[in-house]
Chains A and B, each alone.
Chain A
Amino acid sequence: MIAHPATTSASNRVPTGIAGLDSLIQGGFPLGSVNLVAGPAGSGKSLLALQFAYQGASAFDEPSAFLALEETRDSVERVAALFGMDLKRMEEAGKFVLVDLGAIRAGSPREQLTVGLRELEDFLRSCIASTNVRRVVVDSISAVGLRYRSLQELREEMFAFTRFLRDSKVTSLLVTESPEGGRLTRFGVEQFLADSFLHLALDEVKGELRRTLTVRKMRLTRHDTGKHPVHITTEGIVVAEERVL
């Protein structure tokens, strides 16, 4: 496959800053693209997403917003601190926005506990305008999908949401879960609406779980298609260069 010339130049790529990943995807995500990372519990998808946002703010001068839909601010801050990410410093510098949208839903009726995609869009529209963020992470859209009664409705809403993200000229990363032993994504439609799809897996090797990453899809990119070991180090996720055989 030949990559689109316009997307191979460094200025049109958004580096993730995650060790070993950018070299698999021609230097980073396509500028302004909607990207998806999926994986089962414990595969490292939230950490990968957090690193993408933090690296943007700290290493690439791209203000980032991290929208936590299932975790509290406190919980995200604690995870970040474990891997040497100083979110408070970045927030004070105006380069990082950490939002716990669940915080304003506590005490709501059961049917209103989850955030819908229109609400997310409504929030992001104001957030992007007032903070000038260039990277957006939503962790996770699995929670959002619970609001919809049919897959058709979810797909339509998600189509509109991804279109909004592209129109907003931000590079986004959406997190979704992979159900155990079945579909690659929670609802089976997310990967068709995103421009790229990273899949994290937990493979059992000799009675031990090993994390891996595969770039299953990336538009306008000549990407590596192999399965690569993933290590979680004190500095976060590291994608190994060698392939899993």
Chain B
Amino acid sequence: MFHRAGFLDRRAHAAKRPTFAYRLKSPVIRLEFDLAERVAPSQAREFAFAFADALVAASERLGGLRLTASLARVAWGQEDWRGSLERQFAGEEHPRAAVDAILRDARRAATDLLGATAGGRLVRIAWDAAIQGRQEFVASLGLAEVTA
């Protein structure tokens, strides 16, 4: 097991029966545990897409397709927000960090385009829609509630 985990080097050992000699790869063994990372990537991705989808729908009701396009561009760099979010998850080792970044960018863009109050409300609508049926997941992730 330690050999499979990469801590030990294994070499064949001359004997009547096949045996192995083991040696530590390094005198220092560093172990890291990320206890906050209790989220499956697929769940995090699903939550982020539900949030963005609701945000886009609410912004369309508020200001039409032009506002939606501006919001996506300011928040995530381009109007094709799905592609942008996909890339964000692909390039991020920790799904929790990707979700955080997506929420943060959405808040910033909504505030820039609509002001703190209207922008906050828009994000809140998207948050409320995204957490429907996912309360346990959101709690386990320890995501801060988005407030208006």
Main secondary structure of the interface of A (DSSP, over half): helix
Contact B61 A125 (CB under 8 A): no
A97, CB-defined interface residue at 8 Å: yes
A99 to B116, CA, bound (A): 16
What residues of chain A lie closer than 8 Å to B65, measured between beta carbons?
91
A105 to B67, CA, bound (A): 17
A192, CB-defined interface residue at 8 Å: no
Contact B117 A98 (CB under 8 A): no
Q: A103-B61, A126-B111, A130-B113 are in contact. Are A94 and B118 (CB under 8 A)?
A: no
Instruction: Count residues of chain B with CB under 8 A from any CB of chain A.
Output: 21
What residues of chain A lie closer than 8 Å to B62, measured between beta carbons?
99-101, 103-104
A94 to B70, CA, bound (A): 11
What residues of chain B lie closer than 8 Å to A99, measured between beta carbons?
62-63, 67
Instruction: Count residues of chain A with CB under 8 A from any CB of chain B.
Output: 22
Contact A101 B118 (CB under 8 A): yes
Contact A127 B61 (CB under 8 A): no
A92, CB-defined interface residue at 8 Å: yes
A124 to B111, CA, bound (A): 12
B48, CB-defined interface residue at 8 Å: no
What are the interface flags for B110-121 relative to A under an 8 Å C-beta threshold, 1 for contact and 0 otherwise? 011111111101
B72, CB-defined interface residue at 8 Å: no
Tell me which of A98, A105, A125 contacts B115 (CB under 8 A).
A125
Tell me which of B66, B111, B116, B121 contacts A105 (CB under 8 A).
B121
Tell me which of B58, B66, B115, B121 contacts A126 (CB under 8 A).
B115
The 8 closest A-B pairs by CB, nearest first: A122-B115, A103-B61, A126-B115, A123-B115, A119-B117, A104-B121, A123-B118, A103-B62
A contacts, CB < 8 Å to B: 73, 88, 91-92, 94, 97-101, 103-105, 118-119, 122-127, 130
A–B complex contacts, Cβ < 8 Å, 17 sampled: A73-B64, A91-B65, A97-B66, A98-B64, A99-B63, A99-B67, A100-B61, A101-B62, A101-B118, A103-B62, A104-B62, A104-B121, A104-B122, A105-B121, A123-B115, A126-B112, A126-B119
